[in-house]
Amino acid sequence: VDPGAVDADRLRLSPEESHHLLRVHRAVPGTPFEATDGQGAFFECVLESVERRSAVGRIVARHVDRGELKIPIQLLVGLPEWRAVEQIVEHAVPLGVSALDFAVCERSGREAVGPQRLARLARIAKAALKQSRRSRLPALASSGMLRSGVQALGPGHRFLADPEGEAFTEDLEQSFQDPIQIAVGPPGGFDEGERRLLLDSGFTPISLGPSRLTTETACLAAISLLRNAL
């Protein structure tokens, strides 16, 4: 629901979401449903009426940050092929990432994700958000180079998926306050200059195990570990 369409005790869904609720889920007045504004507010509602194809719900309960992790997880990933990009969004959003940057690396072999594809990723993220019952839409970006992606990050606890790192253990798990930031290389890995940049920028290398992982599997494994540490 658009945050502007929520008042003290009622909210109005967009025509698209109304269609979904009324036609796909066949809601009728009195049917309970849930809504989120994607900015941390989560509403339990009861369908009250339909006005000009827009469903109007009465809000019976409000929750803040329902389904969200206590600390945000941000992912900086070396841009892989498109199918892998989609898979990362599809799984990383339910796992709770708050920001995803597909940064062009030396070994990416492709240009940054353009606006049209970013819009498609935003739709995948929105569907995953609803499905997973989270309440904050993640930020999606595609930096033209790794350095810009690193510079765009604020303070954080930084981890680099790296075969030469140590396994992630509770020793590495300080009391996280700032966001957790995870860097994962593109297919073929970060090159030496990029790896050096990340180490110099405070990323701690962690190993994800004895086998070689694709970019997309490594992203999901790293998020799963850090998410569990929260």
- CA 213, CA 79: separation in Å to the nearest integer? 15
The answer to the question of residue 208 lying near a copy of itself (CB under 8 A) is yes
Residues paired with residue 43 on neighbouring β-strands, in sequence order: 35, 62
Pick between residue 87 and residue 108 the one whose CB is nearest to a copy of itself. Answer: 87
Residue 95 touching a copy of itself (CB under 8 A):
yes
Residues 209-228 that bind a copy of itself (CB under 8 A): 209-214, 216-217, 220-222, 224-225, 227-228
Burial class, 41, CB count within 10 angstroms (exposed 0-12 / middle 13-18 / buried 19+) = buried
Closest to 43 (Cα-Cα) out of 15, 13, 16, 69: 13
Asked if 126 is part of the footprint of a copy of itself (rule: CB under 8 A), the reply reads no
Cβ 89 to a copy of itself shortest distance, Å: 12
CA distances from 16 to 21, 24, 33, 49 (A): 9, 11, 15, 16
Token pair belonging to 181? 């930031």
Residues 46-85 within binding reach of a copy of itself (CB under 8 A): 66-69
Q: Which stretch binds a copy of itself (CB under 8 A): 102-110, 147-155, 161-169, 178-186?
A: 161-169
**Taking contact as CB under 8 A, which single stretch among the options 24-32, 86-94, 116-124, 191-199 is the one that binds a copy of itself?**
86-94
Which residues lie across from 56 on neighbouring strands?
A: 12, 49
Footprint of a copy of itself on this chain (CB under 8 A)? 66-69, 87, 90-91, 94-96, 131-134, 167-170, 208-214, 216-217, 220-222, 224-225, 227-228, 230
